[in-house]
Amino acid sequence: MPTPLIKPTFLPCPWAANGDKNVIPESGADLGYASWAMGWGVINQTDLAAGGIPPYRTDFNGALFALSSHLMWLQSGGMYEWAATLDYPARALIWASDGKLYLSLQPSGPGTEAGPQNPTAEGSADYWRQLDTSGKRQENRYELCEFYSFRHPTLRPGFQPAQGGVLQNAAEQYPEAWAYLQTAEGQKLCKTEVDWQAMSTATWYTLADGTKVGWEGIGGVPYYVQDLNTGSLRLPDLRGMYAEAAGFDSLDAGGVHGDGMRRLQGALAYTRSTGGNQTTGLLYWGDTTNKVVASQDGDGAQNIYFDSSRVAPTAAKTQPRAWGALACVYLGQPAS
């Protein structure tokens, strides 16, 4: 039967807070004194008549003071800062030098195969995951500078609409995103202003009459532009676009393509006999006849109509099934 948990009484202060006590060394204590590595020695249990030395009261006070000081810290909700001298198991929680809270993903430290892994150092993502100050796993909620779509129309804190706008004070307002976009990983999400504008106005199709079909400044650019001189940030423009899993039809992550539809074709079989004119697909004969130049078999002609709605659903634009979403980018919590 499991032992029931009992809520302990809070400690009023560390043991011997106002008493005399020794500072217990890690090792190398004088004869008869305690150390953290050895505790008390054999001489402390040797009979006094045989030259033994009793444990010192000030050692008891010193050891209990150190231990109860940690308990006082923990009962007050305190947490510890990362130290290169300590080993950390998976799921450990620490504060780093950047003032952020981190969760350990796997063991690290001088006594582990991985060695010390500073949470703020480049390449530490395999060992530490940053948490927000509320204790919630920030990366499990929102990835910095990633794209999100929301059903609710109200813009959430830390988000900006992905509509190609420019944040003039982004460097100060969103310092986390600003710093991230300058890293090697963040640069994968960025373009120059020239390239951004070229994508925004790119065309992808030419109609039979020579008309160009393109973005025309709306959508088509899943990238940021970071201006290091002014501190401004141009946001991605996702208007009118749908996310598609990359890896098919030469579409890579971050790539774009315009709308299009499968080619619609039909055929007309014409025979100069009653009931001999057959149509298939999206071609069909109309009911109207018009007067034309007479021939030996009679006067008249029949309209041929083209209508893709006969073979597929149609709308004002080519579109998959969809629901309206507020497309945003996450830039981190604004600086206070």
* Residue 302: pLDDT over 80: no
Sequence length of the chain is 336
Residue 315 maps to a domain:
no
> CA nearest 212: which of 224, 220, 204?
204
Mean of pLDDT values over 283-310: 58
Does some domain include residue 281?
yes
Q: Which residue, among 141, 139, 328, 142, has the nearest Cα to 235 in the 3D structure? A: 328
- Assess whether pLDDT exceeds 90 at residue 134: no
Does 333 have pLDDT greater than 90?
no
In a domain, 84, yes or no: no
Q: Do the domain assignments include residue 275? A: yes
The answer as to whether 73 is a domain residue is yes
Phi-psi region of 150 (alpha: psi -120 to 50; beta: other; left: phi over 0): beta
Contact 259, 285 (CB under 8 A): no
Has residue 335 been placed in a domain? no
State whether 130 and 154 are in the same domain. no
DSSP string, 61-89: HHHHHHHHHHHHHHHTT--PBP-TTS-B-
Please give the share of the chain, as a percent, with pLDDT higher than 90.
56
Q: Mean pLDDT, to the nearest integer, of 285-295?
A: 48
Residues 230 and 289 placed together within one structural domain of the fold: no
Higher pLDDT, 171 or 136: 171
Q: What is the pLDDT of residue 310?
A: 73
- Report the mean per-residue pLDDT for the chain: 85
pLDDT of 228 over the 90 cut:
yes
Q: Decide if 193 is inside a domain.
A: yes
Is residue 242 classed as helix, strand or coil in its secondary structure? coil
245 and 278 share one domain: no
Confidence class for position 132, pLDDT limits 50, 70, 90: low
Q: How many domains does the chain have?
A: 4
Per-residue pLDDT at 138 exceeds 60: no
pLDDT tens for 159-175 read 999 999 999 999 999 99
Q: Are residues 152 and 249 in the same domain?
A: yes
Are 200 and 272 within one domain? no
Does residue 253 share a domain with residue 180?
A: yes
3-state secondary structure string, 152-199? CCCCCCCEEECECCEECCHHHHCHHHHHHCCCCCHHHHECCHHHHHHH
| Residue 280 vs residue 329, higher pLDDT | 329
135 and 180, same domain (yes or no)? no
Same-domain check for residues 69 and 17? yes
pLDDT, tens digit (0-9, with 9 covering 90-100), for 53-76: 999 999 999 999 999 999 999 999
pLDDT value at position 106?
93
Q: Are residues 179 and 206 in the same domain?
A: yes
Q: Which domain holds residue 304?
A: 266-310
pLDDT tens column, 233-253 = 999 999 999 888 888 877 889
Residue 135 has pLDDT above 50, yes or no: no
pLDDT > 90? residue 284: no
Q: What is the mean predicted confidence (pLDDT) over 265-282?
A: 63
| Domain identity same for 113 and 153 | no
Q: Encode pLDDT of 10-47 as tens digits.
A: 999 999 999 999 999 999 999 999 999 999 999 999 99
Domain check: are 130 and 158 in the same one?
Answer: no
Percent of the chain whose predicted confidence (pLDDT) is above 70: 82
